[in-house]
Amino acid sequence: MRRHGAGRVIVGVDGSLAGLRALRLAVAEAGRRGVALHAVRVWNCDSSWQGGAAGCDGEIGQQAHAEVVAAFGAAMGSMPGDVQVVITPVAGRPSSALVDYACRDNDLLFVGTSQRRWWRRLFRPSTARSCAARACCPVVVVPAESFVRSAASRRQSRAIFRDLSALSG
């Protein structure tokens, strides 16, 4: 059932709600195309890490596999039975590692994105934006579900009203 020339479907795996949604959409696309899903878990592991570079590589594989399996459990209940999943741990900065992995023109890269405050974007640039700007393949930037975005704004407004009522009295 695998079609040649269909390219790879690649998803950056993290534990965010937007990342879990991106994972579900990537599984559906891989199933539609009849190709394996490459679940990439990026780790920032420098040589100052406790075990050195060699220890980092060994533990990355184990932790990456466990985190990807946990992400599939959170997103879908379990690993998909109808799509082959290739779990790939990669060391480096998330945006650079994902763009380097999705290096073919016919790849399709899924990444989740979340609403962040301007000061967080200042010190930690958006992985999704960087991937979309630098990738040579199409990038699907997936936001969190709409109920998550609306819940966050309601939570903020409730916190403001609580603070105002505490100040007044």
CATH of the domain at 28: 3.40.50.620
**Domain count for the chain:** 1
64 in any annotated domain: yes
71 in any annotated domain: yes
3 in any annotated domain: no
Q: Does the pLDDT of residue 159 top 60, yes or no?
A: yes
Q: Which two tokens stand for residue 66?
A: 């466990």
86 in any annotated domain: yes
More confidently predicted of 150 and 77? 77
4 in any annotated domain: no
Q: Does the pLDDT of residue 49 top 50, yes or no?
A: no
Q: What is the rounded distance in angstroms from the CA atom of residue 83 to the CA atom of residue 85?
A: 6
Q: Which two tokens stand for residue 41?
A: 């878990």
Q: Which two tokens stand for residue 126?
A: 């958006």
Helix (H) or strand (E) holding 12: strand 9-12
CB count in 10 Å sphere of residue 140: 18
For 60-89, the pLDDT digits (tens) are 678 888 999 999 999 999 999 999 999 999
Q: Does the pLDDT of residue 156 top 60, yes or no?
A: no
Q: Which ranges of 37-126 would DSSP assign to H, the alpha helix?
A: 52-76, 94-101, 118-123
Q: Does the pLDDT of residue 20 top 80, yes or no?
A: yes
Q: What is the rounded distance in angstroms from the CA atom of residue 41 to the CA atom of residue 122?
A: 24
97 in any annotated domain: yes
2 in any annotated domain: no
Range of the domain at 25: 9-168
Q: Does the pLDDT of residue 43 top 60, yes or no?
A: yes
Q: Does the pLDDT of residue 37 top 80, yes or no?
A: yes
Of the pLDDT bands very low, low, confident and very high (cuts 50, 70, 90), residue 40 is very high
140 in any annotated domain: yes
